[in-house]
């Protein structure tokens, strides 16, 4: 059974920013992990790590400027991105690299939900 997305209130404290953006380019795509065939009816699937360029259309909070292109890491997880995906992206830092936070893609939380949670935490 798939895990539901984390509540936005659990993800935002780790965030350095949130933007509305479009995936303009896949810079790097890690190889997809292969699973052994078993007698089970389904195998766990995790989409491989990606490095993407996000074209920022609007800043919800943080230091990123509207119109900027941000290189971000999408960790191995339950979804993969492709060029043209768009929506709110919550961003943090991991070992100096910008990382997309959250278990699922840019449609996990609405713009309004991100803005409301950010305001409650005093993030601007």
Q: Is 88 part of a structural domain of the chain? A: yes
Domain total in the chain: 1
Strand partners, 59: 19
The answer as to whether 19 is a domain residue is: yes
Residue 13 lies in a domain: yes
Residue 36 in any domain: the answer is no
- Closest residue by Cα to residue 107 from 83, 72, 79, 74: 79
pTM: 0.88
Of the candidates 21, 22, 73, which has an alpha carbon nearest to the alpha carbon of residue 51? 73
Contacts 24+ apart (CB under 8 A), 49-53: 49/73, 49/74, 49/75, 49/76, 50/26, 50/74, 50/80, 50/81, 51/26, 51/27, 52/23, 52/25, 52/26, 52/27, 52/81, 52/100, 53/23, 53/24, 53/25, 53/27
Instruction: Give residue-wise pLDDT tens across range 71-107.
Output: 999 999 889 999 999 999 999 998 889 999 998 889 8
Has residue 92 been placed in a domain? yes
Is 35 inside any structural domain? no
CB 77 within 8 A of CB 5: no
Q: Does some domain include residue 62?
A: yes
List per-block mean pLDDT (blocks of 10 residues) for the chain, which spans 124 residues: 82 96 96 68 76 98 96 93 96 94 91 95 91
* Count of beta carbons in the 10 Å neighbourhood of residue 100: 23
pLDDT score for 78: 86
Q: Tokens 């950010």 map to which residue?
A: 118
Question: For residue 77, what is the domain's CATH number?
Answer: 2.40.50.120
Domain limits for position 23: 8-29+46-120
Domain contains 116: yes
The confidence score (pLDDT) of residue 51 equals 97
């Amino acid at each position: 059974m798939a895990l539901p997305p984390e509540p936005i209130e659990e993800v935002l404290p780790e965030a350095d920013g949130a933007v509305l953006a479009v995936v303009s380019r896949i810079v790097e795509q890690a190889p997809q992990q292969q699973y052994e065939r078993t007698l089970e009816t389904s195998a766990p699937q995790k989409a491989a790590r990606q490095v993407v360029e996000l074209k920022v259309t609007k800043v919800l909070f943080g230091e990123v400027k509207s119109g900027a292109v941000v290189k971000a890491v999408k960790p191995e997880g339950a979804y993969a991105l492709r060029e043209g995906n768009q929506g709110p992206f919550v961003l943090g830092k991991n070992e100096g690299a910008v990382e997309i936070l959250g278990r699922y893609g840019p449609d996990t939380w609405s713009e309004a939900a991100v803005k409301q949670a950010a305001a409650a935490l005093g993030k601007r």
